[in-house]
Structure 1
Amino acid sequence: MSVLLWILLFSLLGGVLSVMAASLFLLVPEDHHPHLLPHGVSFALGSLLSVAFLHLIPEAAHGVGVGNVEMLFATVLAGILGFFILEKLLLWRHCHAGDCETHGEGHFHQPAGTLIVIGDAIHNLVDGVLIAAAFLTDIRLGIVTSLAVAAHEIPQEVGDFAILLQSGYGRTRALWYNLMSSLGTVVGGVAAYFALERMNGVLPYVLALAASSFIYVAVADLIPSLHRRTHLAAAIQQLVMIAAGIALIVTVNHWAEDMHAGMPGTAPAISR
């Protein structure tokens, strides 16, 4: 299977399927959401951090060589600061509960819903670029990166659905807008494939930005939402789900490694 086909397939997994999964979650009675959503957030936290620190950063460091590692980590730092600025501009908002400060007292206006759709489209576009960069580096890295994207997209999409519904959108309209914005993942993936395919020297730094994106989402959005539940049972549940997220990425990486071993030449490696 060609690299472009891998990118298309897993861009859809990270975008459209996460929206569909989030819409199914909304079928659950609303009074169960506070109990279920934190488990998804904890799982996403483990997935994102494990991909960032165990896969993306090591692969990027290997790609640039010893002499450029400092510049690589400067890229990670710049990426984290950049995502902070974007979030300050309200173009990158991952809200997992209706009582967060940005959203006031749980009542939203139509412009807030529109902003969510625009911000989500931009977010998905960037996710597509990151997925493409990972696949252009290595099939295994592409698969685990895509799964981490999907893992954190589901709780985010649930939050986006809640905002759209409270902004006056009907369920069908909210689903349609979220599906349309999720196509940004495919657009970003295809565009990055053609832009980055012949730019192997840039790929390690794109992977560094991918890592900074995952780290920022984990630290700025997921961890604070988990700290709202302070009792011991909640902490144990969170640790179990975080470990499950890490275990999934490690397991999938081993599976992808075995699968990749039987498919030589499916993806070019970044410059060594």
Structure 2
Amino acid sequence: MTLINILLATLAGGVLSVLAAATLSLTLLKDIAHKLVGFSVGILLAIAFLDLLPEAAEALEPHQLGTMVLAGILVFFALEKTALWRHDHHEDSDHVCHSNHAAGPLIVLGDGLHNFVDGVLLAAAFLQDPALGWATTIAVISHEVPQEVGDFMVLLGAGYSRAKALWLNVLSSLTSVLGGILGWLTLSGTTGAIPYILALAAASFIYIAVADLVPELHKHRKPSDFVIQFSLMAAGIGVVLLNSHGH
């Protein structure tokens, strides 16, 4: 029964969050998707600095945490460079900036790591007390939806179709189920890796926000653009702060 609860909870916290975020993104936010890059930056940075890193810091020494984040940023730089080389090799006749295209695989990888950790944490909560497990599930859903909206906007902004953006987000959300199963099977062995996974996930979000998305914002340089961008960044941070109280 515990495993069934974990499976239901991880599916709810992952796939349902993605579907809710996609519905919001394609209806209410559809016509202003291209303007919401600033909102995505705010969400990604806030999740990294206000959620993932503080959680990782509870188990890691400051030097360990800093080393993991630094290593993660270097790894994601190398991954993106590899993606760009491959992309340019296939389209070397096109003089188009592909930098934002690589944000797609990176956002899926970072979100997948985050969802995997959510799955492990849900398993731990259910193994302790089913009521705690479902309370944690509600917190995860309320926390995931705004993040998934941000991810969906990143993928649309990177040139992905709506269908492909939805599929990639669903794919990354399924790692929550994997985390739940592995957490249930080998909880004591898995929990030791959680802070390291959190630090790597934070590094990916920081890298995407600063290396891929902020340069997009700088392409629009009017004072009015700055006001809109800064306001949307603040709004993204505010959404995460509001949801963090229930996480």
Task: Give the TM-score, by structure 1 length.
Answer: 0.66
Shift of 1:149: 3.4
Q: Please give the residue correspondences for 1:83-232 in structure 2 after superposition, counting only pairs within 5 Å.
A: 83-90=76-83, 101-102=97-98, 120=104, 123-124=107-108, 126-134=110-118, 136-137=120-121, 139=136, 142-143=140-141, 146-147=144-145, 149-160=147-158, 162=159, 175=163, 177-197=164-184, 198=187, 199-232=190-223
Percent of paired sites with the same residue:
30
Relative distance call for 1:48 and 1:225 in structure 2 (3 A) is: same
CA offsets, 1:11-45, max 9 Å, x none?
Answer: 224544444555558974xxxx6xx512x111111
SS of aligned partner of 2:58: helix
Amino acid at match of 1:156: V
Please say if residues 47 and 242 of structure 1, whose CA atoms lie closer than 8 Å, have aligned partners that are also in contact. yes
CA offsets, 1:182-235, max 9 Å, x none?
Answer: 331233221222234511111011111111111011111111111111111111
2:38 equivalent to 1:51: no
2:95 equivalent to 1:75: no
CA offsets, 1:141-178, max 9 Å, x none?
Answer: 74565245313222223235x455xxxxxxxxx62x44
State the number of aligned residues.
217
Cα separation, 2, equivalents of 1:163 and 1:76: 28
Please say if residues 21 and 146 of structure 2, whose CA atoms lie closer than 8 Å, have aligned partners that are also in contact. no
Question: 2:129 maps to what in 1?
Answer: none
Cα separation, 2, equivalents of 1:60 and 1:207: 6
Relative distance call for 1:212 and 1:16 in structure 2 (3 A) is: same
**Structure 1 runs (4+) greater than 6 angstroms displaced:** none
Task: Give the TM-score, by structure 2 length.
Answer: 0.72
Relative distance call for 1:129 and 1:5 in structure 2 (3 A) is: farther
Question: 1:235 maps to what in 2?
Answer: 226
Relative distance call for 1:227 and 1:181 in structure 2 (3 A) is: same
Relative distance call for 1:154 and 1:100 in structure 2 (3 A) is: farther
Cα separation, 2, equivalents of 1:14 and 1:156: 16
Cα separation, 1, equivalents of 2:68 and 2:227: 34
Q: Please give the residue correspondences for 1:22-33 in structure 2 after superposition, counting only pairs within 5 Å.
A: 22-24=25-27, 28=31
Gaps of 5+ in 2: 87-94, 123-135
Relative distance call for 1:214 and 1:190 in structure 2 (3 A) is: same
Please say if residues 24 and 149 of structure 2, whose CA atoms lie closer than 8 Å, have aligned partners that are also in contact. no
Amino acid at match of 1:81: L
SS of aligned partner of 1:229: coil
Gaps of 5+ in 1: 94-98, 104-111, 165-173, 258-272
CA RMSD of aligned residues (A): 3.5
